[in-house]
Structure 1
Amino acid sequence: MDTPGLTTDAAGHSHCSWRTSAPEYPRYHDHEWGVPVADDVQLYEKICLEGFQAGMAWITILRKRDSFRQAFDGFDFRRVAQYGEADIERLMQDPGIVRNRAKIVSTINNARRACELVDETGSLARWLWAFEPGPEERPATVDLAYWAANPTSSASVRLSKALKKRGWTFVGPTTMYALMQAMGMVNDHLEGCVCRQQIEDLRRQFKRP
């Protein structure tokens, strides 16, 4: 019998059970979710897509991710920062993305805020990784009950407040916790998932920016 929150594949390897809930998830779960990221463009993309996901299922965003990348110039934030009203209207007519005006406007706003932050501090990655929670803020083990009960953390609250103070939008504590999971700032693969130790190894080897 599978452990709660885990499933076992044909090879006998255990994984987080959400991995099997959509055809796109195995690759995302096994090779992307939780892998540490230090590239500014990739991080801006993750912030934006997590913002678009608010109120929706992540699988919807994942399935549209390539279209989002095409629509937003590969999430090059210096290019997106130059978008104007014509671009907003173009994006509102693009069926490949989530056509939510507030989230589109937020993506452009956040590109401008990202430019300001990079110009001021030199690196979006360095600034974000400064919010990595210390060992005392993380549980010794992670199980389904913990993960379900903790969609935010003290670190994600701090990150959210700091970004909002700088004028970023759609960066609430829950959205920022999802970002922290996705970018490898925390490792929330469940205990028993074969990827958990792999991610721990990557995090140990990762050079913080």
Structure 2
Amino acid sequence: MTNQAFPYAEVFAAVEQQVIGTGSKQLGAPAVHEYLSEFKTFADRRFSDDEVFWKLVLVAFYSGFRAATVASKLEVIRRHFPDWQSVAQYGEADIQRILNDGEMIAHKGKVQGCVDNARTLGILVNQYGSFQAFLDSQLPDDSLENLLLLKELLQVKFAYLGGITVYHFMTDIGLNVLKPDRVICRHFHRLGLLESEDQIFKAILEGRRFARATGLPIRYIDIVFVVFGQVKSPNAGISEGICLREPRCAKCSIRSNCAHGDTSAKA
């Protein structure tokens, strides 16, 4: 099936309906809608410099670590990295103090990376007035070329923005990309949109096609597919996802579009 023939809007609507329907059984429909609707406004939001810094901190700590491990330490991490202005002034003694905290994730590379990122953020704020003004100056919405040049620039300037994590950060600050993580790439590969789950850039293009076809923000496309394929998503009322590594095809609303649509699979 070619991309031009693929029923992007219909497939997404079926996934969205199943996510909301499943989550509503536990949380109720209003709570699920409230949780998901937040992700429809990312492209319209103007993030403060401290909000941007916190997203950089999260990217650094989540990179290569189990999400549950980092999530259990968020309060401690926030205590050590309260705002970019304070962190930009940290010296070696401060870094050692953080690493000596028994409650903290003692990873010197991540701690140093957050300090370096605070300093880099400060340089951009001093030069442009705010990080948002720096983003706007790159005209990322004008063309895909501008967006990719910005992606490259962010990788050069900031620590822990690697080939995939840079897209995580860009998604979280409202740019027109999604997070091409293993869940998203698995979905798109099973739907025949990717030849391999390693096609990161193609996954992003396919996410943009879903957004165009539905008229929905790409961040919303991202979160709905993620909830559909995560092991569990308590905030959406999902105790067990559908399109898992071992897919629950008998429960799946889009199995007719999927190369793995074997109804004999785990229910």
Normalised TM-score (structure 1) = 0.62
Give 1:133 deviation, angstroms. 4.4
Percent of counterpart pairs with the same letter? 23
1:37 and 1:109 map into 2 onto residues whose CA distance is 23
- Return 5+ residue gaps in structure 1 as ranges: 17-25, 138-152, 194-209
Aligned twin of 1:67: 76
Higher relative contact order (CA 8 A, sep 6+): 1
2:125 and 2:112 map into 1 onto residues whose CA distance is 20
Give 1:129 deviation, angstroms. 4.4
User: How much is the aligned-residue C-alpha RMSD, in angstroms?
Assistant: 3.5
Confirm whether residue 43 of structure 1 aligns to residue 74 of structure 2.
no
| Superposed structure 1 runs of 4+ greater than 6 Å apart | 13-16
Higher helix share: 2
2:71 and 2:37 map into 1 onto residues whose CA distance is 14
Aligned twin of 1:104: 111
- Alignment of structure 1 residues 14-163 onto 2, 5 Å: 31=38, 35=42, 36-72=45-81, 74=82, 76-130=83-137, 133-134=140-141, 137=144, 155=147, 157-163=148-154
Confirm whether residue 190 of structure 1 aligns to residue 197 of structure 2.
no
Aligned pair partner of 1:174 in 146, 158, 164: 164
Alignment: residue pair count: 163
Q: Which has the larger radius of gyration?
A: 2
Normalised TM-score (structure 2) = 0.50
Give 1:50 deviation, angstroms. 0.8
- Return 5+ residue gaps in structure 2 as ranges: 1-12, 177-217, 225-267
Give 1:102 deviation, angstroms. 0.6
Cα deviation 1:132-171 (Å, max 9, x = unaligned)? 743864xxxxxxxxxxxxxxx983x5334213444x2112
